[in-house]
Structure 1
Amino acid sequence: MSIQRRERSAALIYPYIHMLKCPICHGSMTTISPHSIQCMSRHTFDLAKQGYINFMTRFFKGNYDKRLFTAKRNILSQTEIYTPLTDIIRNYIEGYCHSKSQPLHILDAGAGEGSLLQQITQNTPAVGWGIDIAKEGIAMASSAYDQQIWFVGDLACSPFAEEQLDVILNILSPSNYEEFGRVMRKDGWIIKVIPRDRYLMEMRELLFRDRSHQLDGRDHVLDRFAKYHHLIDRIPLTYTLPVTKVMLDSLIHMTPLSWHGKESAISSVQESLSQITIDLEILVGSRRSVLQPLR
């Protein structure tokens, strides 16, 4: 099974090997087999048994463990908690497709366990690429979804050559706008999703009753986005859903919020949470050719 998965991944990547570069020497990738991919300087990166390529060039140990990614997989695959979000993104991408004669290349930067990229690109001619620094997430993604290409890699040093990607997705995940600008085509788009004040507010209120827990400053995020991109659209998206048993079992562990919550507060969430609010903003931008100073 692992050999077949590796062979399938190698065959999927082969037509697009020219889009990749070595994160060590920045030379072109030249050969790929079911076991590895190699650059012109013979730097070699292995294909894991799950089918992903590990392009990391430094050690990384994060808090994103298998439990978090399993919780995300369960809630994203078994509920419609983010369906309104993926529908909007798919509609935007379909509109962009009409101006293209070739399939779009879509990168999910911070893909996690892969479900959002799979939902956005399924039943489309788009080529989906997913990258994340957390190996546990990408291992799950490549094990479950074999129509996309999966990399473990660092957004600060991604394995793409210049101006290769049509759309970059950056959904509730950190950004590296300098690198996005390097790998995005001149007419490419970025679609970034950020939380607004009411995002998961019911869970945050239960977890942090005795102290405040603020989301990262939106103004700073918006300023940085505008520095690197022409803002095409801003779409607010807010809705409240009843919490089902599947959601309850996974919701508490699918975000880093639980890392900072007391055990008693986590128990309170599991006993008391009856509804959850999704409050997001979708930013659609095109590439700036020259960086402009913040105003």
Structure 2
Amino acid sequence: MSIQRRERSAALIYPYIHMLKCPICHQTMTTISRDNIQCSSRHTFDLARQGYINFMTRLFKGSYDKRLFTAKRDILSQTAIYTPLIDIIRDWIEDYSSSNSQPLHILDAGAGEGSLLQQITQNTPAVGWGIDIAKEGVAMASSTYDQQIWLVGDLAYSPFAEGQLDVILNILSPSNYEEFGRVMKKDGWIIKVIPGDRYLMEMRELLFRDRSHRLDGRARVLYRFAQHHHLVECIPLTYTLPVTEIMKNSLIHMTPLSWQGTESAIASAQESLSQITIDLEILVGKRR
């Protein structure tokens, strides 16, 4: 099974190998097999048994673990918690792709366990690329979804050649705008999703009863975005959903919020949480 998955991934990547570059010497990737991918200087990167390529050139041990990625995958695959967001992004990409004769290349920068990219690109001609520095998330993505291309890599040293991507998605994840600008096509687009003040407010109130928990300021995020991209549109999206029994455990563990809550606060939140607010803003920008 793992050999078949690696062969399938190699076949999926092969037509687009020219889009990739070596993060060590910056030369073009030239050959790929079921075992690895190699650049013209013969630097070699392994194709994992799950089907992803590991482009990391340094050791990285993050806090995001399998429990978080499993919770996120479960809630995204079993509930409609982010369906309105996915619909907006899909509609926007469909409008944009209607003027293109070739399939769009869409990168999810900070793809995690891959469910959002899979849902956004499924049943479309788009080529979906997912990259994340957390190997645990990418391993889960490539084990679950085999129609997208999955990479472990650092956004600061991404394995893409210049000007290759039509759309970059950056959903509730850190950004590297300089690198986004480098790998985007001249007429490329970025879709960044940021949390609003009321995002998951019920959970935050239960977990942090005696202390404040603030999200990054919107003005600061917009300022940094506008330094590198022309802001074309801001789309607000706010809705409240009832919390079902299926959602309770996954919801509490799908974000880093639970890391800062005490065990008693987490248990209380799981018991008390009856509704959850999704408050987002979708920033659509063009490369400067």
What's the secondary structure of 2:253's corresponding residue?
A: coil
Distance 2:178 2:274 in 1: 41
Q: What whole-Å deviation, never above 9, does each CA across 1:103-161 have from its counterpart, x for those lacking one?
A: 00000000000000000000000000000000000000000000000000000000000
Counterpart residue number, 1:293: none
Where do 1:146-295 residues align within 5 Å? 146-288=146-288
Contact 1:74 1:246 in 2 (8 A): no
Counterpart residue number, 1:79: 79
Counterpart residue number, 1:291: none
Shift of 1:264: 1.2
Supply the AA of the counterpart residue of 1:141: A
What's the secondary structure of 1:25's corresponding residue?
A: coil
Shift of 1:216: 1.0
Supply the AA of the counterpart residue of 1:28: T
Q: What whole-Å deviation, never above 9, does each CA across 1:11-41 have from its counterpart, x for those lacking one?
A: 0000000000000000000000000000000
Where do 1:63-142 residues align within 5 Å? 63-142=63-142
Shift of 1:262: 1.0
Shift of 1:168: 0.1
Counterpart residue number, 2:21: 21
Distance 2:245 2:144 in 1: 23
Contact 1:9 1:51 in 2 (8 A): yes
Where do 1:15-54 residues align within 5 Å? 15-54=15-54
Distance 1:271 1:2 in 2: 40
Distance 1:4 1:212 in 2: 50
Supply the AA of the counterpart residue of 2:241: L
Supply the AA of the counterpart residue of 1:232: V
Distance 1:67 1:256 in 2: 11
Distance 2:245 2:183 in 1: 41
Shift of 1:266: 0.5
Shift of 1:98: 1.0
Distance 1:246 1:117 in 2: 22
Gap runs ≥5 in structure 2: none
Counterpart residue number, 2:59: 59
What's the secondary structure of 1:238's corresponding residue?
A: strand
Distance 2:167 2:218 in 1: 22
What's the secondary structure of 2:278's corresponding residue?
A: strand
Distance 1:246 1:177 in 2: 37
Supply the AA of the counterpart residue of 2:238: T
Distance 1:26 1:99 in 2: 32
Supply the AA of the counterpart residue of 2:91: N
Supply the AA of the counterpart residue of 1:76: L
Shift of 1:245: 1.1
Contact 1:34 1:47 in 2 (8 A): yes
- Once the two structures are aligned, what percentage of the paired residues are identical? 85
Counterpart residue number, 1:5: 5
Shift of 1:244: 0.7
Distance 1:183 1:91 in 2: 23
Q: What whole-Å deviation, never above 9, does each CA across 1:226-250 have from its counterpart, x for those lacking one?
A: 1111111100000000001111020
Q: What whole-Å deviation, never above 9, does each CA across 1:189-233 have from its counterpart, x for those lacking one?
A: 000000000000000000000011000111111000011111111
How many residue pairs get aligned? The number is 288
Q: What whole-Å deviation, never above 9, does each CA across 1:81-103 have from its counterpart, x for those lacking one?
A: 00000000000000110111100
TM-score by length of 1: 0.97
After TM superposition, the structure 1 stretch with the greater mean CA deviation from structure 2, 245-254 or 11-20, is: 245-254
Supply the AA of the counterpart residue of 2:217: G
The structure 1 segments of at least 4 consecutive aligned residues displaced by more than 2 Å after TM superposition are none
